[in-house]
Structures are given as C-alpha cells and as structure tokens.
Amino acid sequence: MAEFDVDLFVIGGGSGGVRAARIAAGYGAKVMVAEECRMGGTCVIRGCVPKKLFVIGSHVHDEIEDAVGFGWSIGQVSFDWTTLVANKDKEIARLEGAYTSNVEKSGARIVKTRAVLEDTHTIRLATGEKVTAKYILIATGGAPNHGPIVPGIEHVISSNEAFHLKELPKRIVIQGGGYIALEFAGIFAGFGSDVTVIYRGDNILRGFDEDVRKHVRAEMEKRGITIITGRTVAKIDKHGRDFTTHLSDGSSIASDQVMFAIGRHPNVRGLGLETAGVAINPANGGIQVDGWSKTSVDNIYAVGDVTHRTNLTPVAIREGHAFADTVFGKRPVQVDHATIPTAVFSQPEVGTVGLTEEEARAQFSHVDIYKTDFRPIKATMSGRDTRVLMKLVVDGASDRVLGCHIVGDGAAEITQAVAIAVKMKATKADFDATIALHPTASEELVTMRTPTARHVRQAAE
C-alpha cells in the first residue's frame, strides 16, 4: 500500500498551481488539484485577461475619433455595456474550460472544493474527505485589499465586482494609484464615464521611474481623468443609487459608483497554515519561502501571489514550473526574480524592464540617461494631443543598459522584446549598432545617441 494517497496536492487552480500540476504529472507524479472557485485563478477569471479585454474595448472610442483625420466619416455609434460583459463572460468560460481540460489531460485530478491543511501531509476537503500527500503546493493567490476600514466601506466595489456591473457608471471614484486603479480609470473613461482617481501619495505609480509617473499622469489628465493626490477616502455616504465620497481634506465627490483598488493581500486565511507549521513572512504577510519556493515545512511549497514576492502571472507560472522540475523532474531550477518586465495597461500604456533612474543611481557610480518625448506619427493626422516617452538607463562605466521605460501605444509589446536584450546584459553600443526599423516609435530606442543626463556619484571622503 502506498504511503500517501497522492504525490502532490495543489491548493489553488490558478496559473501557478496549474502549471506545477501539469509538469509534475508529466514527470509521472500522482497529482490532485483543489479549487474552490473557478479554474484559472485571478488572472484568467478576474484579472489580466478580462481586464485586457475591457481595455481593448475601451480603445475603440479613440479609434473612431482618430479615424476622421484619416478620411473616414463614421456615423452614429453606440456602446452597450451588457453586450461587452456577456461576451467577456463567454471568453472567460472558454478559457476556464481550457484550463480544466489541460489539467485533466495531463493526468492530474481536479476537485472543486476548499482544501485546508490538517497537518504537514494531510489535507481536509470541504466534502469531508481527507487526502494525504507527499508534497503540498500552496498556490491560492491574492485577494483585493480595501485597507483601513472607513465608514461606508460596504458600498465600495473592488476590481472583482467591476467586471460584473449591471450597467456602466456615469461617474466613478477610484481610490488607488497602481496597476489596477489606473487600468480601470482608463477603461471607464474610454467607455464614457466621468472618472476621479484618489491616491494618498504625491503621485501615481509608486515604485515606477519618476519620468514615467509624471508622463502617465499628464496624459491621463489630458484624457479628462481627474487625479487627486495626497488625499484618501475618509467616508462614503449612500443616497438612493448615488454616493458621496468624503476625502481626508474635507472635500467631497458625488458619483454613482465607488471602487477601491489599493492593492491585494496574500490569500492565506483559513488554510490551516498554523496547524501545519507554515510560517508567514512578517515583512509582507505572504507565505515565507526560500529560493526554491519551499516553506518552513520541508514538504510544503508555495508559489505565486500567496508568497507576495513578485505578483505577476508569468512569475507564478515560472515558479510553479521550477518547483515541478526541481521536486519531480530531479532537475533543480531556481527562478531568477531580477529584471522582470512588467506592463500597466493604463491609457497611455506603460512597459518597463530593469532599473529605474533612481534605483540605478543608488547602485551605480556612473549613470547615463537617454530620454525622448515625442508626438507619435498617428497623432500628426488624427490631431490627438498625446506624446510618447522612451527612456534608457545605462551604466556609464560598463555601458550596460540597466533599464528601459516606455509610455505610449504598444509599450508592453515593445518592452517584451527589449527585455531579452536587457536580460542578456546588452550594452548601449549594442543598441546603437542595431539598425532602426522605420517608421516606428520603437526606433527611438536605437537612435538616441546623446545622453540627456549624466550622473556621477562622488565617493565618500
């Protein structure tokens, strides 16, 4: 009789857990996956995918406006929110089916129920069944964090509910200044809503390059989005179907929807972590793991947002794959969390990889900056008042490109390709030696020859 019911039990059917389950099963492991909600996790069901579909849909309004400058005469148009939501739901259901099918094809078994750790090798299912496993992988992701409780917080929606609203809000207040807040600000504004963004810091996109932060804010404000910084929401009052949002400075804003998007927290509650002895990282509230994604318990691992390391879907996938390779493929693989490209699908779009100017100047004695800000070719005909930002951060001593930051149409697509060069430690000379692809916005990355700034850190005396 086998010592354990399964070789691997995965808690969570999101991107990281699914990848780990499939790869482990491919190595011959007996695998079970528990998912209490829907297969696909945050990204597929209530995150990246539906958000990107909404972003694409919200761009259509701009395309219609821009078409006039290119000779198109477009008559009366209309937008139906319920059609968008229904079509999005169909696509998400299709993807959920694909995730489920791919796991089952790999030979792993899915149980649609909640799973809780009873000890280091035993999992108790909500059905009452108990399963023993040689290894356990926790991949339960994250959940919206509303922050400090304020009066009227029960009236607030998160990004989860935003995907299922019955109607498009005419006026919406969004608290937050990061990925989710700015992406939804652009989405709602694109569909015609009056949008106000409230952020507690001095500027949006904390942690991004300062030039990116300034550029994105200016471009969003050009689009009619109101951005209020240095304040927070103190209280929300409901009046029938309308809301009054009271801010920390005593001012107030009327709207018919209020959304909080101030971050996400690791989904660690009620998993039985304490019972099994799995430690929480006191610095970030996520499950504490080492470089191999191993927790404080030798046979229990964790990947993805639940660790609160780098909360990006491709990172969770890479971590899940590396875990399966290491534990079941007998091929030790550690994930390199340095130089991870990321995008904000705000409007304008942001793509970035590597160090910001501030980070580079803190780490390197000589830093050269190459930066350009220009009107894209499309805007010369459409008449739209918009500008593109491109910036390279270079180690002045070695000539290595340390970071690339782009704001404008296609920023994410461009950054994915540039990330390969940055990861390979390409130099500015390598960029300069690459012939430009004309006419494109991205050719600026290989034609910027003169530094816009040079920083030299003086040695301490």
Quick check: 41 and 13 in contact, CB under 8 A? yes
Mind listing the pLDDT tens digit of every residue in the chain (461 residues)? 469 999 999 999 999 999 999 999 999 999 999 999 999 988 999 999 999 999 999 999 999 999 999 999 999 999 999 999 999 999 999 999 999 999 999 999 999 999 999 999 999 999 999 999 999 999 999 988 888 889 999 999 999 999 999 999 999 999 999 999 999 999 999 999 999 999 999 999 999 999 999 999 999 999 999 999 999 999 999 999 999 999 999 999 999 999 999 988 999 999 999 999 999 999 999 999 999 999 999 999 999 999 999 999 999 999 999 999 999 999 999 999 999 999 999 999 999 999 999 999 999 999 999 999 999 999 999 999 999 999 999 999 999 999 999 999 999 999 999 999 999 999 999 999 999 999 999 999 999 999 999 999 876 44
DSSP string, 224-251: T-EEEES--EEEEEEETTEEEEEETTS-
DSSP string, 22-34: HHHHHTT--EEEE
What class does CATH assign to 6-144+265-327? Answer: alpha beta
φ, ψ at 279 (rounded to 5°): -85, 145
Largest CA distance in the chain: 76
Alpha-carbon span 112 to 390, nearest angstrom: 46
Catalytic residue annotation = 438
- Give the right CATH number for 348-455 from 3.40.50.970, 3.30.390.30, 3.40.50.300, 3.40.50.2000: 3.30.390.30
Length of the chain: 461
The Cα-based distances of 402 to 210, 367, 425, 454 in angstroms read: 16, 9, 8, 14
Alpha-carbon span 427 to 417, nearest angstrom: 15
Alpha-carbon span 64 to 251, nearest angstrom: 36
Q: Is 34 exposed, middle or buried (0-12, 13-18, 19+ CB in 10 A)?
A: buried
Q: Given this model, what pLDDT does residue 50 score? A: 96
Alpha-carbon span 79 to 60, nearest angstrom: 10
Structure tokens, 32: 């079970």
- Residue limits of CATH 3.50.50.60 in the chain: 6-144+265-327, 153-262
- The one-letter amino acid code at 214 reads K
**CATH code linked to domain 153-262:** 3.50.50.60
pTM over 0.85: yes
- The one-letter amino acid code at 57 reads G
